[in-house]
Amino acid sequence: MQNYQISTLDYLTIFIYICGIFLLAYKSGKKTNQVPDEDSQYLASKSLTIPESLFSIIATEVSALTFLGIPAISYASDYSFLHIYFGGIIARTFIAFAIIPKIYGKGLTIYSVMGKYGTKSGQRWTAIFYSINKLLAVGVRLFSGSILIAAFFNLNIYLAISIICAITFFYTLIGGLKAVVRTDMTQMALFVGGGICAHYIISSQSSFSWTQLITSAVDAGKINIIDFNNLKPFFIGIVGGTLFDMATHGVDQDFAQRLTANKSQKGAQKAIMISSIFSIIVALIFLGVGSLLWSHYQTITPPSVSNDQLFSYFITQFFPAGLKGLMVAGVLAATMSTLDSSINAMSATLYKDILNKNKKLNIESSYKKDTLIITLLLMLVAFISSKSSGLVLLGLKIPSWTAGSLLALFFTTLSFRKFFNAKLDSLSVIGAYAIGIFSVWINSYFINGPWQFNVYYGFISSLVFLYIKGQIYSRLNLL
């Protein structure tokens, strides 16, 4: 570990941030959860405004993978990573008009809505597969956010992960979804502000101005978004990103919860559509950080660290007192805004879909137990993830293995039920996931196709399975 000084101002900045988050969570929770019930705990009593839904979505999707991992991508390559976000514009427009009307006001979770057209076991298996996938994906994000914390305080990575989980666990307990959303908004402002500050600090530490650094990156092709001599990656990103985003933001309880908790269906629709533009803006900020670092290290010897750790290294070594603490708080914010949202969403599915608990149970006691279990599982995944590299792509690839199957189950259950003769039972869910994962495995290890197409392989193969299963059951009069 390199030597550097942690000032009192840095510690104070981080302390104020943590205290502020707990205070905000307490006030939000106290206001909405005086008599906690299902709706208040998991849907904020349908009180979310458009800005609350919008910025909570951004805060949830923009994890420490964005803060630390996206600069690593543009440092090593260019801005072609944005192709996925362009596909997201198409996807979120579709979500607004084709998915939200199917789920808004219909149930506590998206899987409980699907379960109305099937069996309890089908609903349970859908939630179980979703939860496993979410645990893996968020566990990677948790580890990525712990890298800077460990480096900054010279901690063991496992201890850093544990500290983040402990802080997030306690303030998530305070006030349910409303508290999570309110803190997410504050945390989003902090990590975006941190990214903007990074542009200034990198240029101030360099021998060149911000304009000169960016110009150097432009001249070297580091800011290229589209290569007109090779349009294949652009179309792969657009096409792949469309279905991928549709699955991750449309039928993922984590994001769906922020939409179904909105005051109105129209508000939810506006929030999801606007979020696609904000996502691109945030991505550009952090891609720019990677470009500035690349230009800076063209004139001096870069440190002997991986690309994933480069931005963390620069923060700990060169950021001034106070701003160094602000950046660490920004990484904490990015990590916890993803973690708290996922914990709340998985708690809802565990409560409603997997365990199918009775409404008469003490919701607060149940929420505490469920949240603790989920937090411990996320810690375990993060510990295992600490042995991996290429964090952004790893975090994206994990959902791609099962997202297509979940999307297929949603459409066959809620949109095209009669055509598919569909029923959400155990065989439908387990079979769809099995054939979907197998198809993705074929793409990944035999065809060696783009990972962005994993969702298509899973989606199409699951649709075929569900159609055949529906026809067989129909002919045997088993439906």
Beta-carbon contacts of 178 under 8 Å, excluding residues fewer than 6 positions away, are 28, 29, 31, 32, 33, 40, 44, 45, 47, 48
> Which of 143-147, 167-171, 233-237, 416-420 bottoms out in mean pLDDT, i.e. has the lowest?
143-147
Where residue 121 falls (left for φ over 0; alpha for ψ -120 to 50; beta otherwise) is alpha
- The token duo for 407 is 């999307």
Q: Could you tell me if 32 and 47 are in contact, meaning their C-beta atoms sit under 8 angstroms apart? A: yes
SS3 6: coil
Q: What is the pLDDT of residue 332?
A: 83
DSSP letters, 208-239, are S-HHHHHHHHHHTTTT-S--TT--HHHHHHHH
Q: What is the pLDDT of residue 241?
A: 86
All structural domains of the chain, each given as residue ranges with its CATH number in brackets, are 8-389 (1.20.1730.10), 401-479 (no CATH)
Q: What is the pLDDT of residues 52-64, one digit of tens each?
A: 999 989 888 876 6
- Residue 339 vs residue 268, higher pLDDT: 268
Region 60-84: mean pLDDT is 83
pLDDT value at 88 more than 70 = yes
Q: 109: which DSSP letter?
A: S
Element (H or E) spanning 81, and its range?
none
pLDDT value at 248 more than 50 = yes
Q: What is the pLDDT of residue 396?
A: 59
Region 355-364: mean pLDDT is 70
Give 359's Cβ-side CA count (13 Å radius).
5
DSSP letters, 311-368, are HHHHHHHHSPTTHHHHHHHHHHHHHHHHHHHHHHHHHHHIIIIIS---TTS-HHHHHH
Looking up tokens 């993830």 gives 385
Radius of gyration of the chain (CA): 22
Q: What is the pLDDT of residues 276-293, one digit of tens each?
A: 999 999 999 999 999 999
- Taking CA atoms, 195 is separated from 78, 127, 137, in Å, by 18, 35, 23
Angle between helices 50-61 and 157-205 (to 10 degrees): 100
d(Cα 209, Cα 201) in Å, to the nearest integer?
Answer: 10
Q: Could you tell me if 63 and 385 are in contact, meaning their C-beta atoms sit under 8 angstroms apart? A: no
Q: What is the pLDDT of residue 33?
A: 47
- The token duo for 320 is 């001034």
Q: 303: which DSSP letter?
A: P
Q: What is the pLDDT of residues 107-154, one digit of tens each?
A: 889 999 999 999 999 999 999 999 998 988 888 888 877 877 887 888
pLDDT value at 410 more than 90 = yes
Share of the chain above pLDDT 70, in %: 92
**pLDDT band of 1, cuts 50, 70, 90:** very low
Q: What is the pLDDT of residues 288-342, one digit of tens each?
A: 999 999 999 988 888 888 787 788 888 888 888 888 888 888 878 878 888 888 8
pLDDT value at 267 more than 80 = yes
d(Cα 176, Cα 268) in Å, to the nearest integer?
Answer: 19
pTM exceeding the 0.75 threshold for the entire prediction: yes
Share of the chain above pLDDT 90, in %: 42
pLDDT value at 104 more than 90 = yes
Q: What is the pLDDT of residues 26-55, one digit of tens each?
A: 777 665 545 567 777 788 888 899 999 999
The average confidence (pLDDT) of the chain is 86
Element (H or E) spanning 88, and its range?
helix 82-94
Q: What's phi and psi for 475, nearest 5 deg?
A: -65, -30
Q: What is the pLDDT of residue 368?
A: 83
Q: What is the pLDDT of residue 28?
A: 73
